[in-house]
Amino acid sequence: MARLDSVRLDGDQAMNRTGWTTLGALLVGLAAGAWLADSRAPWGTTSHAMAQTSAVSTSAAPLPTVASPSLSQDEQRNISVYETANRSVVNIDTKTVSVDPFMMQHEAEGAGSGAVLDREGHVITNYHVIDGAQQISVTLASNDVYPAELIGGDKEHDIAVLKINAPAEVLFPINLGASEQLRVGQRVYAVGNPFGWDGTMTTGIVSSLNRNLPSRVDGRQMKSLIQTDAAMNPGNSGGPLLDGNARMVGMCVAIASRTGQNTGIGFAIPIDRIKSIVPELITNGRIVRADIGIINVMEAKDGLVIRQVAKGGPAEQAGLRGGRVVMQHLKQGGFVVAERPVFDSTQADRVVAFDGEELRTGVQFQDKLWSHKPGDTVTLTVIREGRRVEVPVTLRAD
């Protein structure tokens, strides 16, 4: 994505040089947010909750017929998509209490929107919508309001799962599509709660695919996002991006803007990624990532120097070597007047490849590591005392 002028990241927070802003901003007391969901587990999770639901079909059910001689075929399609999906879209309200240095409490209220995930009451949204909230409530399309419990979330992927205790008959799960089938130029629809105006639908096209943006975790990226010109504003965060058959193909997450308002460049998390992450969030409350037991690396001219390995961790057990910190004495007139810690890399392994792929940055190393699961065995190629050595390492859970 081309670099744009700085934009708001969250309400009146500092501007972000990357030129994008999440849609969960607090604006005049209203935070952004939006939920997506589906009732019948499309991901084959092993969790008890999801196991009780039937599989979601990604083939679209026939849309309701909108017959009117005064409406064009395109208008009829728009209406059908809205009437099919809108009952699955919900509003989210949050309350956050903070204490200032003078011990005075301040309450901030947020509002967003979303959609039902299953008939057990699971809903999902962007993590930034509910981050830090002490109270969360969900309002269904029927205007019934339910308190919500945070089941799990992942800050890096900006996805969270909530649960409400609502009767199954008032829950209308949204149909899930497949983002891998999207094409540039395809018509899409965003339904959400921009600026608190619930049940708002905007239309546009898929402008591009496979866009990358900085995540809310330093040094990490949200990858392969969907770019669209369907209007998004604060309040759309977490809301569904739909295809022409009212199937959810993405989750609205951010816009590129100088003002924090829509400029025709919006981004959505692909539904295929959401499908792969949600079951683990429901089961574990978080994504259990693989850990290699390397505490820190230092980028060098050719590879990554291991600064430190965790005692008893996978890297140490595999024989990988970190460096050491030594004290350097500063002398004046033959006397030691000061000392400072200095990193000694002479005995440290230098990682040059991960499973045969060359490495040059710490981000590359992290990406390769997090593409694996605990229990996997990976091979690091290191330079040790001038020799090239292949070191297999079995990963553990973080």
Instruction: Report pLDDT for 312.
Output: 93
- Which of 173, 171, 199, 179 lies closest to 243 in space, CA to CA? 179
pLDDT band at 5 (very low <50, low <70, confident <90, very high): very low
- 329-346: pLDDT as tens digits: 787 877 777 888 877 888
Give me the CATH number covering residue 365: 2.30.42.10
Burial of 376 (0-12, 13-18, 19+ CB in 10 A): middle
Q: What would the two tokens of residue 382 be?
A: 């290191």
The whole-number average pLDDT for the span 154-174 is 94
> Strand (E) positions, 233-344?
240-242, 248-255, 266-270, 290-291, 294-300, 303-309, 324-332, 335-344
Q: C-alpha distances in angstroms, 275 versus 58, 67, 163, 272, 284?
A: 12, 35, 17, 5, 15
Question: Which of 159, 111, 174 is closest to 139 using CA atoms?
Answer: 111
Give the pLDDT band (50/70/90) at residue 306: very high
Q: Is the pLDDT of residue 205 over 50?
A: yes
| Mean pLDDT value across residues 142-169 | 94
Instruction: Please give the span between the terminal C-alpha atoms of the chain, in angstroms, as a whole number.
Output: 32
Q: What is the pLDDT of residue 24?
A: 53
Local confidence band at 147 (pLDDT 50, 70, 90 cut-offs): very high
Q: Is 186 exposed, middle or buried (0-12, 13-18, 19+ CB in 10 A)?
A: middle
The CA angle 36-234-13, to the nearest 5 degrees, is 120
pLDDT the model gives residue 301: 83
Asked whether residue 228 falls in the same domain as residue 94, the answer is: yes
Q: Are 179 and 13 in contact (CB under 8 A)?
A: no
With bands split at pLDDT 50, 70 and 90, how would you rate the model's confidence at 3? very low
Q: pLDDT digits over 91-120, tens only? A: 889 999 888 888 888 888 887 888 899 999
Among residues 342, 344, 349, which one has the least CA distance to residue 381? 349
Give me the pLDDT at residue 164, please. Answer: 97
Question: Does residue 112 sit within a domain?
Answer: yes
How many structural domains are present in the chain? Answer: 2
Supply the pLDDT for residue 38: 30
Query: Residue 45 has what pLDDT?
Result: 34
Say yes or no: 297 and 278 in one domain: no
**Residue among 97, 267, 272, 89 at smallest CA distance from 177:** 272
What mean pLDDT comes out for the span 300-329? 89
Whether the predicted pLDDT of 280 surpasses 80 = yes
Instruction: Give me the pLDDT at residue 61, please.
Output: 56
Residue 378: inside a domain: yes
User: pLDDT value at position 390?
Assistant: 94
Higher pLDDT: 6 or 347? It is: 347
pLDDT digits (tens, 9 = 90+) for 34-80: 323 333 333 433 333 333 333 333 445 567 666 677 889 999 999 99
Q: Residue 33's pLDDT is what?
A: 32
User: Is 2 part of any domain?
Assistant: no
**Judgement on whether residues 107 and 205 belong to the same structural domain of the protein:** yes
Q: What's the distance, CA 46 to chain centroid?
A: 22
Least confident of 1-5, 155-159, 348-352, 379-383: 1-5
Task: Please check the confidence at residue 302 and state whether its pLDDT lies above 80.
Answer: yes
User: Percent of the chain having pLDDT more than 90?
Assistant: 47
Percent of the chain whose predicted confidence (pLDDT) is above 70: 83
Q: What pLDDT does residue 20 have?
A: 56
Token pair 């990406």 is at which residue?
367
Mean pLDDT, to the nearest integer, of 6-16? 31
Of 261, 284, 307, which marks where a domain is finished? 284
Query: Hey, what are 258's tokens?
Result: 């100088």
Nearest to 280 by CA among 43, 33, 14: 43
- Both 263 and 297 in one domain: the answer is no
Q: Which one of 255, 284, 313 terminates a domain? A: 284
- Give the Cα separation of 210 and 132 in Å (integer): 30
Domain co-membership, 230 together with 294: no
My answer on whether 149 and 34 are in the same domain is yes
DSSP track, 129-160:
HHTT-SEEEEE-TTS-EEEEEEEEEETTTTEE
Q: What is the mean pLDDT of the chain?
A: 81
User: Residues 210-242: pLDDT tens digits?
Assistant: 998 888 887 678 889 999 999 988 888 899 999
What CATH number did the domain enclosing 120 receive? Answer: 2.40.10.120
One-letter amino acid at 289 equals: R
Burial of 215 (0-12, 13-18, 19+ CB in 10 A): middle
**Residue numbers annotated as active site:** 128, 158, 237
In this structure, the answer to whether residues 239 and 313 fall within a common structural domain is no
Largest pairwise CA distance in the chain: 99
The answer as to whether 1 is a domain residue is no
Q: How far is CA 195 from CA 235, 289, 346, 371, in A?
A: 5, 36, 58, 37
Residue 15 has pLDDT above 80, yes or no: no
How confident is the model at residue 28, as a pLDDT? 29
Q: What pLDDT does 67 receive?
A: 62
Q: Six-digit token pair at 45?
A: 């999770």
Q: List the domain range (segments joined by +) for residue 212.
A: 7-284
Is pLDDT larger for residue 160 or for residue 196?
160
* 209, 272: one domain: yes
> Do 254 and 198 belong to one domain?
yes
| pLDDT of res. 62 | 62
If 0-12 CB within 10 Å is exposed, 13-18 middle and 19+ buried, where does residue 162 land? Answer: buried
Residues 257 and 334 in one domain: no
Which run of H or E residues covers position 50?
Answer: helix 48-51
Q: What is the DSSP letter of 102?
A: T
Out of 55-64, 194-203, 266-275, which region has the weakest mean confidence (pLDDT)? Answer: 55-64
The closest of 140, 165, 171 to 151, measured between CA atoms, is: 165
Return phi, psi of residue 363, to 5°. -65, -40
| Cα R_g (the chain), whole angstroms | 25
Q: What is the pLDDT of residue 177?
A: 94
**Are 349 and 389 part of one and the same domain?**
yes
Same-domain check for residues 219 and 301: no
Is position 337 within any domain?
yes
The H-or-E segment that residue 48 falls in is: helix 48-51
CA distance 353 to 92: 45
Domain boundary among 263, 284, 305: 284
Assigned domain for 373 exists: yes
